Amino acid sequence: MTDGILDEDQRANANAKLTSYVERLERMLDEIDTLKDGLKDLKAEIKADGYNIKAIDRVVAIRRSKGAADKEAELINDVLLYAHATGTPLDVELGDEDRIG
């Protein structure tokens, strides 16, 4: 390469590499579209079975995140979802430091 000018081999190599990148990107975008369609179908199936999509999305978001606070929120959310799904009343007792008044 002299002063920014590519010879035939370099130009062919750059063209092949660029073509490869474009093809990989197209394949990945196609895979993403396929996954999005699958996700849409799954959510429709969940909704058809009578489950709350927003609640399930929230559970998934909590489970995917990391950290102790997130794990606690996940546990609380799971308990609340279980109680809601089964009709179980939750008796919550506040500690002395949490009482108002």
pLDDT in tens, 27-77: 999 999 999 999 999 999 999 999 999 989 888 887 777 666 777 888 888
* Single-letter amino acid, residue 99: R
Out of 10-24, 39-53, 82-96, which region has the weakest mean confidence (pLDDT)?
82-96
Higher pLDDT, 81 or 45: 45
Taking 90 as the threshold, does the pLDDT of residue 21 lie above it? yes
State residue 45's pLDDT score: 96
State residue 30's pLDDT score: 98
Q: What is the pTM of this model?
A: 0.52
- Rounded-to-integer distance, Cα 36 and Cα 28, Å: 12
Q: What share of the chain is helix, strand, coil (3-state, %, to 5)?
A: 75, 0, 25
